[in-house]
Amino acid sequence: MEMGDFLKTINTKNEVVAIEKTNDYTRLYGLSLSEEDCQIILKDKIDTLKNEERFEFGQSIIPKLIFTFCDSAYIYQENYVETIGRLVEIFYLYKNESMDLVNDEELIDIMKGYFEDICQGSLDYLEDTCLEDFARDMRRDGRVFLGGEYGRDI
Interface positions with other proteins (CB under 8 A)? 1-4, 6-7, 10, 49, 53-61, 92, 95-96, 100, 103-105
Q: How far is the CB of 11 from other proteins (least distance, A)?
A: 12
Give buried/exposed letters for 101-113 (b at 16+ CB in 10 A, else e): bbeeeebbbbbbb
Instruction: In angstroms, give the least distance from the CB of 85 to other proteins.
Output: 17
Task: Pick between residue 53 and residue 133 the one whose CB is nearest to other proteins.
Answer: 53
Distances (CA, A) of 16 to 7, 20, 37, 81, 94: 20, 6, 9, 14, 24
Whichever of 7 and 118 has its CB closer to other proteins, that residue is: 7
Pick the closer one to other proteins by CB: 7 or 40: 7
Euclidean distance between CA atoms 71 and 79, whole angstroms = 14
